[in-house]
Chains A and B, each alone.
Chain A
Amino acid sequence: MLRVEGVVLHRRAYRETSFLLDLFCRESGKISAVAKGVRSAKSDRKSLLQPFQLLECHLYGRHELKNLGSVDALQPAMQLQGLRLYCAMYLNELLNRVLPKEEPCPQLFNHYLSILQQFRQLDDSLNEVEPLLREFEFALLSELGYMPDLCEDSHGEVLRHDGHYMLSADEGLVASADNQRSFRGEALMLVNARQWGPESMQCAKRLSRQLLAPLLGDKPLKSRELFAPFRTSNS
């Protein structure tokens, strides 16, 4: 038996009364489990087995797909709404798509929980939530080993304020001429220092899109569609 602290990333109906769950756990990373009999009218576990609530779960079985035993709430349910709810769904989709199974990443897990907590105190505006999303994406990328060094270029030279750099999958940042796909040195330094302004936000977004693209393949993240109304109302 395995006792884990975690949150539900995704659940889907399985057979008549069960759920298939993807859990993100502090100690064991992403785990899949079957929750049997939960969808029946009598079970009160179905309200717990939803995203964004920190749970204590007991898991059984030696196979990759575990069986879920008892579940207890460790925190009250996060009642997110609007943009922040969509952002939280975005994080879940991202984790579900790119995180490999059963790879412990406790730091990333704590980061995820702290973002959910911070969402509760923010306003429904993209300017407020986007820095949190970028910081999480960068944390995820470095956990997976895909985050390039933003202090120096591929030759080990410190970035120049007025330099321009391209992202190369193998080498990291490569000095280049000023063009549409290049990043400004100054913006990269601001991103590295997590100092958020219009330019560094724009730069961070392009950076993270380019870095995530090979991990996501040709299927884009669906949650991005939910942000569309906020984009138009903001600009």
Chain B
Amino acid sequence: MKTTPLINQLVDAFKVLPGVGNKSAQRMAYHLLERNREGGIQLSQVLHDAMQHVKHCSQCRTFTEASLCDICASPTRADSAQICIVESPQDVLAIEQTAEYKGLYFVLMGHLSPIDGVGPAELGLDKLNELMSKDTVKEVILATNPTVEGEATAHYIAQMCKSQGVRATRIAHGVPVGGELEYIDGNTLSRALSGRLDV
């Protein structure tokens, strides 16, 4: 069956989504056309608005449509002594869900990976330096991923903290809660052993 140019365009447009190939894109396009025109129109409007208006928070670089995100704007958090450094906005959500942390965030939007062309400037570390120079900040929590690049990033920021006289801490790495040692890979287990604590 031949399709019209507009339908082809719609199918191609869906393919920008991660994990969506030709077949899924076709299914989505025909589903909206056949059964959910209203939903399709709403999707297009919201998608348009979000792409136009969502930008980075001027302080922590996470996504927001306001100039300051809710966390940075919150009066109880604005003067917090802690900044938690994470790689992506999804990491902020994950930490917020624990409800353990009440400080500020800084979102790097990536990690140091020179091989991919990402250096200190691309991560907005000059902005972080500015944020750290505030008198209220006493501790920087390095919550980058436990990958080689994440470690390099954590170490680089820890050096910046040192020159500013701010305490830098790294989140613990090791055995997942409820896990069994027997099934843990060797690298994780050796990290868990080298990072053991007094009880």
Contact = CB atoms under 8 A, between A and B. Distances in A.
* Chains A and B are bound partners: yes
Contacts, number: 68
A93 B115 contact: yes
Interface string A40-83: 00001001101111000000000000000000010011010110
Interface in A204-235: 221-223, 225-226, 229
B119 interface: yes
Given A15-B19, A47-B187, A225-B121, A81 B151 contact: yes
Interface string B150-176: 011001100100000000000000000
B80 interface: no
A48 B121 contact: no
Contact of B115 (A48, A52, A92): A92
Contact of B114 (A12, A48, A76, A90): A90
Nearest to B152: A85
B186 A76 contact: yes
Q: Interface centre among A9, A76, A90, A225, by most B CB within 10 Å?
A: A225
A111 interface: no
Size category of the binding interface on chain B: 20 to 34
A76 B147 CA distance: 15
Contact of A52 (B18, B19, B148, B194): B148
B18 A93 contact: no
Contacts of A44: 183-185, 188
Interface of B: 18-19, 112, 114-121, 147-148, 151-152, 155-156, 159, 183-188, 190, 194
28 contacts: A10-B115, A10-B116, A12-B116, A44-B183, A44-B185, A47-B188, A50-B148, A51-B148, A52-B148, A73-B186, A76-B186, A76-B187, A76-B190, A79-B194, A81-B151, A82-B155, A82-B159, A85-B148, A85-B151, A85-B152, A89-B152, A90-B114, A93-B115, A221-B114, A222-B115, A223-B114, A223-B115, A226-B156
- Sorted nearest first, the 6 A-B pairs with minimum C-beta distance are A222-B114, A223-B114, A44-B185, A225-B119, A47-B187, A93-B115
